[in-house]
Amino acid sequence: MTIRQALRAAILGIGILLAAQSACAAVTSPWCAAGKPVKFAGLNWESGSLLTELIRIVMEQGYGCKTDSIPGNTVAMEAALANNDIQVLAEEWIGRSQAWNDAYKAGKVLPLGKVIVGASEGWYVPEYVIKGDAARNIKPMAPDLKSVTDLARYKALFKDPEEPSKGRFLNCPIGWSCEGVNSQKLKAYQLSDSYVNFRPGTGPALDAAITSEYRRGKPLLFYYWGPTPLMGKFKLVKLVEPAYNEACFKTLTDKDQPKPCGSAAPEAIIRVGVSRAFGDGEPVLRGFLDKFNVPLDLLNKTLADMSDNKLEARQAAQDFLKRHPEVLKKWVDADVAAKVSAGLR
């Protein structure tokens, strides 16, 4: 071999090495390579817990990350995210929480991806309350109930068992962002004196209360949202609220506002919330989270299966990734998807 040939071979070898290093770097997470765990908000509602586990599995199997889940209510987790005590909150409803709004304005958190598209929320009653249910021998109880403005005259129908002179409104659990918004809505709709603001201890407790009353054909007024298993199982009617008004909705997200004004929720924008430190220092995982989305129909079906079969979120997430590799491949490169799939076998 001549000197020129040897030199060419050496240059070619260096090029191959650099290309290999570049390819490796493209799928190596700086955060995880440094040995730092990615800490998640331990969200305690079905879709939140499922989405959390989907992201954790991809990071663990596809990128070799260590992850952890920290329990706590939404507001506490948003504060932890702002302080980088946790790095990822898998289901953040943008604009609904003052804690998130303040952290975002201060540049401490970032929203990534379009996690769920087409979600809804509001105040609901079972359909049989308005239309009855002949198959269950239930007659209409409030045939002209259409909007939140009608509720003042129906407090006796939704009677609270502990305070019979008032109706009962089933709110979110204490600590959830929606709990504060709904509490303000009770004031805005002038229902605070006629309805008990009942807040279950957990998301499952809220579901259990709704399910129990629905199956017995009882009148029930509650806040709920989708995607969730119950939305697919039960026939529900969403009550009309005043049209969305940005200024009024700000009074609903501010728990200290003494005179809130009514407003429907804005269009649901659901993102992955990450701490600024994580988002700025983690281009690889940030790229994955920017693409992370679960189609609404698949999400509803998975949540229903999760509920019916009493699956833990981790198991439901593993089953989802096994059954829907085509969705996984939309989030990450083929080599990363292959690692995830191999780790699930």
* Residue-wise pLDDT tens digits, 324-339: 999 999 999 999 999 9
Q: Residue 68's closest CA among 121, 32, 101, 122?
A: 32
Q: Is the pLDDT of residue 4 over 70?
A: no
Q: Residue 288's closest CA among 35, 83, 28, 36?
A: 28
How far, in Å, CA of 285 to CA of 28, rounded? 9
Q: 4: buried, middle or exposed (CB in 10 Å: 19+, 13-18, 0-12)?
A: exposed
pLDDT for res 10:
45
Name residues whose C-beta falls within 8 Å of residue 263's C-beta, 6 or more positions apart in sequence: 188, 241, 242, 243, 244, 245, 248, 249, 252
Could you give the residue ranges of the DSSP H alpha helices within the chain?
3-26, 30-33, 46-57, 63, 74-82, 98-105, 127-131, 177-188, 203-215, 229-233, 246-253, 276-281, 283-291, 296-308, 313-323, 325-331, 334-344
Tens digit of each residue's pLDDT (9 = 90 or more) over 248-295: 999 999 989 999 999 999 888 999 999 999 999 999 999 999 999 999
Alpha-carbon dihedral angle through residues 152, 155, 160, 164, given to the nearest 10 degrees = 120
Q: What is the mean pLDDT of residues 25-29?
A: 66
Q: What is the mean pLDDT of residues 44-49?
A: 90
Is the entire prediction scored with pTM above 0.85? no
- pLDDT band for position 1 (cuts 50, 70, 90): low
Pairwise pLDDT comparison (6 vs 180), residue with the higher score = 180
How far, in Å, CA of 84 to CA of 110, rounded? 11
Q: What is the mean pLDDT of residues 230-244?
A: 92
How far, in Å, CA of 161 to CA of 210, rounded? 15
Q: Is the pLDDT of residue 114 over 80?
A: yes
Structure tokens at 173: 């659990």
Q: Is the pLDDT of residue 22 over 50?
A: no
Q: Beta strand pairing status for 195-198 and 270-275? A: unpaired
Q: How many helices (H) and strands (E) does the chain have?
A: 17, 10
Q: Is the pLDDT of residue 213 over 90?
A: yes
Q: What percent of the chain has pLDDT over 70?
A: 92
How far, in Å, CA of 291 to CA of 227, rounded? 19
Query: Strand, helix or coil at 89?
Result: strand
**Helix, strand, coil share of the chain (percent; to 5):** 50, 15, 35
Report the amino acid identity of residue 298: L
Q: What is the mean pLDDT of residues 235-254?
A: 95
Whether 99 contacts 79, CB under 8 Å: yes
Say how far residue 191 (Cα) sits from the centre of its chain: 28
Q: Residue 110's closest CA among 276, 270, 271?
A: 276
Whether 157 contacts 141, CB under 8 Å: yes
pLDDT for res 210:
96
Residues composing the chain: 345
Q: Residue 185's closest CA among 96, 268, 100, 104?
A: 96
Structure tokens at 89: 């909150």
How far, in Å, CA of 55 to CA of 57, rounded? 6
